[in-house]
Structure 1
Amino acid sequence: MSNMSQKELEILSSPTFQEIINTHLDNPGRRTILKGSMGVAALGFLGLAGCGGDGVAAGASGTAQLSAVGFSSTPLSLADSVQVAPGYQFQVLYKLGDPIANGIADYANDGSDAANNPSEFQFRSGDHHDGMYFFGLGANNTWDPNVSDRGLLVINHEAITPLFLHANGPTSTGGVRNANEALKEMYIHGVSVVEVRRGSNGQYSVVKGSPFNRRVHTFTDMEISGPLRGVPAMVTKYSPNGTRTRGTINNCASGYTPWGTYLACEENWAGYFGNTNNTGRSSNDQASMRRYGVRTSGAGREGWSTGSDVGQVGEPFGRWNVAIAGATAADDYRNAHFTYGYNVEIDPFRPNSTPKKRTAMGRFAHEGAWVGPVEAGKPVVFYMGCDSRYEYIYKFVSTANWDPADMMGGLQAGDKYLDFGKLYVARFDADFTGDWLDLATVANGTVVNTVRGSGSLSTAAITYTVTDANEQFLNTRLIADIAGGTPMDRPEWGAVNPRNGEVYMTLTNNTSRTTADPANPRVYFDRDDDGDGIGDSGSRGNVNGHVIRWREDGRNPAAVGFAWDIYLFGAETDDLTNPNVNISGLTADNVLSSPDGLWFSQKTGVLYIQTDDGAFTDTSNCMLLAAVPGEVGDGSTLTVDNTKANGGVVTTRAGNVGTLRRLLVGPVESEITGLTESPDGKALFVNIQHPGEDTGNLTAAPTSAWPYSLPGGGFGNPPAGVVPVVGNRPRSATIVITRVDGGLVGQ
């Protein structure tokens, strides 16, 4: 820990918003304090501001601020290992295939696991660990946000690397997927709920056999909840009354609620559906499928729709085929895709509860859902991003006002706060203000003759007509197009600064961008060649991404206006001298590309930034950085010259990045994703996703063997001809980062 003044120590020990809530929840007679002068809006004394170095600095409010990043940066790395900053250490906690129930064998990691019993993965960890949250588990087995030594860790399993899951990779015969392999993959997707405990040595472990341990997967029964419950678009052969569906898929980032539940957010769900007959669909359905990327032909990304349902129960393969095959929607799965694309609420404290898809929060490629500051008597607000090129940032504002008595209210509280509310899309204006556009204001009968495809600004001549008020929830993207939201460069993770309520969101990249605007101001060539931007090959557009942030008017989360700037611009090492690319003045200690995951420490106020990159990985594997966040307006207005890329000259407002340092670099071909922390701030949980994903095939050694060492020892790409051995296939996993001296992470 860096040396700190008495003033800094006082700031560090100041209670966070959650701790203030907990204090008063413990004493119901004092809950009224949340309605008065000590409500969230009055917590400005906790605000952080930009700081250009170690020590303290004065923020816009004049309050002394703590510099929360006191470690030395980890160097860039191409090693097949996890590299952490000096004074830090990590442990591997929870890997693909790890058993969570007693009587389940250790994972063989050779493709043989559950080969003939796919449902065994109900009792094992899934793959591609992603968004997660740590719920402290109190003595009465309910959520206690102050408990760090025991908790429920809820983890998304976004996708799979099929190559490593089967003995010889995925197989098919005559274009038909092997049934057991495909079923196994379906169980591996989804969510884990596992109890974890911290031992006297400071290391966490999974409590195998805990009654809380649970896997939610593509076969888990789900309720359709909110305004789309029972509407015709929800009708399928599985649920003729349109009130239920099976499973959740491609859960990326996540969220938690003030009442103690978890939100698993469905992102790239559209690609899993195949289609063998698209005739007979209405113009609106065709427009919707194009806008969301649902196939009009083909087998889907994993080919599950090709499997044979002969001898199977419940048509596990046919349900992925959205072809019109019967007389009505109740006779087939033509509407199955309409039952995906939502935030899925899971109660981790009630293992037998049925998850609910919260349709009032909209249907799109949900990256995650992040709750804004909560105040008794005021609506509950969630911020959301739609992760695709030229997509939008959204906000959901509950109709019901928050009542602290709903703490631990479970899914019934979710019914109250998440099934009724207003859904907004963000418009970012050139004067650095913005508006939240209410999607309910798009009138019935509105007709558009062209609609965008998924992730593209190109148009296709399909007529779409707004038919009723539910269109904003079912076809959220289309309604946002009409409303006039600002198309963004892949809105991914968000995070809310607990010290001042400002909201940050990563815009990871957009290599299709050809014109710029103030909120997405860069169009340039990725400088892989001579760097003059003329006639170069390689990617063009916003190649390295940025982080945008905003402050709601009056610091009221439910406001319909906001002020904004851009906190951070990504760049590569060969662009560090280009002021139109390296706008944030990055150096070797903090250069990064494609910001993705975000997390604010509730304990220290540190902002963590993760990367998911393909442009910079010839120089370094993906990474985790830590920063002092600052506040909106702490930077300057500047001009970005995109003329060499024909992107034009754009005026934008850049924030003061302040202290930004690299805490971790991951193994080969992995994404660093998913963050949560112990409430005491002494443990940071991070996911290492899909190491070695570009291996190609199993006839040669994997490009990564993390968390194992490669044959012959060492790390990196193995020699040609080296054959992988049992136990050497790479595995996605959750790790826990701690300081060697047991102190606060990030200090």
Structure 2
Amino acid sequence: MSERFQEFHDRLAAFDDRSINPSGNVPMNELIDASRRRLLKKSLVLGALAFLGGGLYAPRRLYAADAPTHSALLGFVGVPVQQDPQFDEVVVAKGYTARPFFSWGDPVVAGSPAWKGDASEDWKAQELQAGDNHDGMHYFPFPEAPDSHGLLVINHEYINPTLHTKGQTFEDRPDGTRGRPEGEVRKEIAAHGLSVIEVKKDASGHWQRVEGSSYNRRITGSSPLDLSGPLAGHELLRTASDPDAKQVLGTLNNCSMGVTPWGTYLACEENWHQYFVNRDKEDFARRTSHKRYGLSNGKFSNYYAWEAVDARFDATPKADQPHGGHVNEPNRFGWIVEIDPYDPSSTPKKRTAVGRFCRECSTLSLAADNRMAFYYGDDTKGEYIYKFVPAGKYDPDDRAANRDLLDEGTLYVAQFSDDGSGRWLPLVHGQDGLTAENGFASQAEVLVNARAAADKLGATPMDRPEWVAVQPGSRTVYVSLTNNDARGKKQPVNAANPRKENLHGQILRWDEAGGDPAATSFQWEIFLLAGEPKGSGAPENLVGTINGDIFSSPDGLYFDTAGRLWIETDYDDAEQPMHAMGCNQLLCADPHSREVRRFLVGPRGCELTGITQTPDGRTLWVNIQHPGISFPASDGKSIPRSTTLVITKDDGGVIGT
């Protein structure tokens, strides 16, 4: 990894991952019975906490020390860790092939130029090419050939400095602000968003991109998107450039995603706060919608300084402009963006009923009677887990009837108790202190300031909640808590977050009461603590409970059609505590035996993220984000390119067998 590339990611990670939750919330039963908490914490360490999982499972132990050591679901031989500091390859399990399929700069829209190889394209070309830092994605099949023909939708989360031939250019001005070349800023905005590409197997059975397809499209950081739901037209979203608050330009920092049962894609705006600045110290201090989300309060926005070129990223209030200028522009980000990949002429919609925070994912749980819940992680240290229950039901026989189901419903936030129980607390204006006296004048205020509303309700601060996956059949919900080295007095350890200086993270799972996605109570347990094995000599906070191949910092989670749980990791492989883990990896777990096996290892400096498959389970796509050297060129010299891999089994079989 080059020095400037490493510096960029170190700064970005330091800002994105910092804890800004001031609430000091603790689980309710800690407030009621501290002595019982201490006893339960002791039983947690001993691995003796058990519970009855919503009627879907027999009582199960917190840790699977007595679980079978071999899984019928995992049919491949695990690959070893890769600790070489210059490792620049992808290693996949024996009997499988992984090949580069779609990389930053590849043509998307008809008329797009081919990637030049030196990042010299301008912003107009970038608007037609694949964006940077591939993340969440999903395969949408065509009904006539679901396993060989469909659409692939891929998020482009943020940009690397390698987007430009000589990296990013900043001009430090005498007043402390920063200048940027307009062309660089426009290209960076164009490299955000997402791509929709048609994909198809050729006559030889190899997957190809269908160039020139009418389905192919780019949605960028400047594409027009409609605002929908209770905040559409609301004063809190009005700006000088959009006084009607009906249309916003662009979607930013799309990390993970979700899909609806009616066949649309849900892009999730995660660390959108880093693109904005409010230079007014007094206004920033009293404006919850800025302060609670960590906007920059300095002279320029963190790492991008787009406000030097595009005024909408300067959220400093302007008394001489309508609606305070662009002070409300940050309120227009942090939402779900619903996109219909099958209709390239449709305008994506930002759904505001689901609340605003740094949303990692939007994972569906569908009940037998077609009621729904969507689960979200707020990816910041000490933030919360949410779910949204639409007011209406999914109608499988009328796609049009489902069009606006995400515009009405109830947003909940999770509270985990140390006895293995949990509650969903509704974020509803007028209830439980969410009143004007406490700063919530309306439901709109609750939704825009969902974090502050969750603080007020006493939600449980978690160790960086990220992806959520729902197990087929049982509807058991899994969440990755990536890590949290900031857990201390304001975020005390508890049963769900049991380690101080938690560098390796954990995976939790829960069953909703009665197996009902809309239930307001649940039973939870720790599926595993990531980290080194017992007896390794590592400090206690680095030791995990993994049954099988070790890993750190679980991030992406995904259930395949056979019920295997795929786990993607995201940690700084240059840090000393991660040396035992090697490069970031893709693993597979049996949710019943809890055995974990390493399936793939990526190149040095990358993150494994984004995962989807064909309905027959014979093709898997995963993303290699921000590789540190040169993948996929693998010559040690070329510009690194975030890349989507396509993985198949050499004998044509199901992935994971």
Give secondary structure in 2 for the equivalent of 1:401: coil
Alignment equivalent of 1:445, drawn from 435, 441, 444: 435
Q: Say if 1:100 and 1:207, in contact at 8 Å, map to a contact too.
A: no
Residue 185 (structure 1) aligns with: 188
1:244 offset after TM fit, Å? 1.6
Give secondary structure in 2 for the equivalent of 1:271: helix
Q: Say if 2:434 and 2:453, in contact at 8 Å, map to a contact too.
A: no
Give secondary structure in 2 for the equivalent of 1:389: coil
Question: CA 1:346 to 1:120, structure 2 compared with 1: closer, same or farther past 3 Å?
Answer: same
Alignment equivalent of 2:519, drawn from 559, 570, 578: 559
1:121 lines up with 2:126 in the alignment: yes
Residue 341 (structure 1) aligns with: 334
1:578 offset after TM fit, Å? 6.1
Residue 19 (structure 1) aligns with: none
1:470 offset after TM fit, Å? 2.1
Question: CA 1:556 to 1:445, structure 2 compared with 1: closer, same or farther past 3 Å?
Answer: closer
Question: CA 1:102 to 1:344, structure 2 compared with 1: closer, same or farther past 3 Å?
Answer: closer
1:491 lines up with 2:416 in the alignment: no
Distance, in Å, in 2 between the alignment partners of 1:325 and 1:277 is 10
Residue 237 (structure 2) aligns with: 234
Residue 248 (structure 2) aligns with: 245
Residue 379 (structure 2) aligns with: 387
1:214 offset after TM fit, Å? 0.5
Residue 690 (structure 1) aligns with: 626
Give secondary structure in 2 for the equivalent of 1:397: strand
AA of the residue aligned to 1:198: K
1:608 lines up with 2:606 in the alignment: no
Q: Deviations over 1:80-121 (max 9, x none)?
A: 11011111111111000000234333211212112xxx1222
Q: Deviations over 1:587-636 (max 9, x none)?
A: 7x51000000000002x111000000125543401000001112xxxxxx
Residue 12 (structure 2) aligns with: none
Question: CA 1:469 to 1:542, structure 2 compared with 1: closer, same or farther past 3 Å?
Answer: same
Q: Deviations over 1:188-224 (max 9, x none)?
A: 0001110111224332111111100011111111111
Following superposition of structure 1 onto structure 2, how do residues 94-493 of structure 1 map, counting pairs within 5 Å? 94-114=102-122, 118-139=123-144, 147-162=146-161, 164-173=162-171, 174=173, 175-277=178-280, 283=286, 286-308=287-309, 317-330=310-323, 332-376=325-369, 378-407=370-399, 409=400, 413-415=402-404, 417-440=405-428, 441-445=431-435, 447=437, 465-493=439-467
- The structure with more radius of gyration: 1
Q: Say if 1:576 and 1:586, in contact at 8 Å, map to a contact too.
A: no
Q: Deviations over 1:631-656 (max 9, x none)?
A: xxxxxxxxxxxxxxxxxxxxxxxxx6
1:288 offset after TM fit, Å? 2.7
Distance, in Å, in 2 between the alignment partners of 1:280 and 1:661 is 51
Q: Say if 2:482 and 2:554, in contact at 8 Å, map to a contact too.
A: yes
1:294 offset after TM fit, Å? 1.3
Q: Deviations over 1:543-596 (max 9, x none)?
A: 100000000010011111101001011103697456955765437x51000000
1:623 lines up with 2:582 in the alignment: no
Distance, in Å, in 1 between the alignment partners of 2:112 and 2:531 is 46
Question: CA 1:154 to 1:270, structure 2 compared with 1: closer, same or farther past 3 Å?
Answer: same
1:329 offset after TM fit, Å? 4.2
Give secondary structure in 1 for the equivalent of 2:290: helix
Q: Say if 1:427 and 1:435, in contact at 8 Å, map to a contact too.
A: yes
Distance, in Å, in 2 between the alignment partners of 1:296 and 1:734 is 36
Q: Deviations over 1:22-70 (max 9, x none)?
A: xxxxxxxxxxxxxxxxxxx99999xxx9862436xxxxxxxxxxx2101
Identity in percent: 39
TM-score by length of 1: 0.75
TM-score by length of 2: 0.84
AA of the residue aligned to 1:153: L
Following superposition of structure 1 onto structure 2, how do residues 72-111 of structure 1 map, counting pairs within 5 Å? 72-77=77-82, 78=84, 79-111=87-119
How many residue pairs were aligned? 582
Question: CA 1:43 to 1:119, structure 2 compared with 1: closer, same or farther past 3 Å?
Answer: farther
Q: Deviations over 1:390-442 (max 9, x none)?
A: 100001001112221234x3xx6241x10100110001111101010111123
Distance, in Å, in 1 between the alignment partners of 2:125 and 2:187 is 8
1:383 offset after TM fit, Å? 0.6
Distance, in Å, in 2 between the alignment partners of 1:181 and 1:288 is 29
Q: Deviations over 1:355-379 (max 9, x none)?
A: 1111111100000100002433x42
Q: Say if 1:154 and 1:348, in contact at 8 Å, map to a contact too.
A: yes
Give secondary structure in 2 for the equivalent of 1:229: coil
Give secondary structure in 2 for the equivalent of 1:368: coil
Q: Say if 1:576 and 1:585, in contact at 8 Å, map to a contact too.
A: no
AA of the residue aligned to 1:110: D
1:281 offset after TM fit, Å? 6.6
Question: CA 1:282 to 1:176, structure 2 compared with 1: closer, same or farther past 3 Å?
Answer: closer
Distance, in Å, in 2 between the alignment partners of 1:212 and 1:544 is 41
Residue 19 (structure 2) aligns with: none
Question: CA 1:543 to 1:423, structure 2 compared with 1: closer, same or farther past 3 Å?
Answer: same
Distance, in Å, in 2 between the alignment partners of 1:278 and 1:222 is 31
AA of the residue aligned to 1:196: V
Question: CA 1:501 to 1:239, structure 2 compared with 1: closer, same or farther past 3 Å?
Answer: same
What RMSD, in angstroms, separates the aligned Cα atoms of the two structures?
2.4
Question: CA 1:251 to 1:502, structure 2 compared with 1: closer, same or farther past 3 Å?
Answer: same
AA of the residue aligned to 2:604: V
Distance, in Å, in 2 between the alignment partners of 1:329 and 1:296 is 22
Distance, in Å, in 2 between the alignment partners of 1:438 and 1:483 is 9
Give secondary structure in 1 for the equivalent of 2:504: coil
AA of the residue aligned to 1:427: Q
Where does the alignment leave 5 or more consecutive residues of structure 1 unmatched?
1-40, 56-66, 140-145, 309-316, 449-464, 524-540, 631-655, 693-703, 712-723
Q: Say if 1:136 and 1:147, in contact at 8 Å, map to a contact too.
A: yes
1:729 lines up with 2:654 in the alignment: no
Where does the alignment leave 5 or more consecutive residues of structure 2 unmatched?
1-53
Give secondary structure in 1 for the equivalent of 2:362: strand
1:302 offset after TM fit, Å? 3.9
Give secondary structure in 2 for the equivalent of 1:367: coil
Distance, in Å, in 1 between the alignment partners of 2:549 and 2:475 is 25
Q: Deviations over 1:215-261 (max 9, x none)?
A: 11111111111111111111012210112211100000000000110
Q: Deviations over 1:648-696 (max 9, x none)?
A: xxxxxxxx62x2100000001000000111111001110000011xxxx
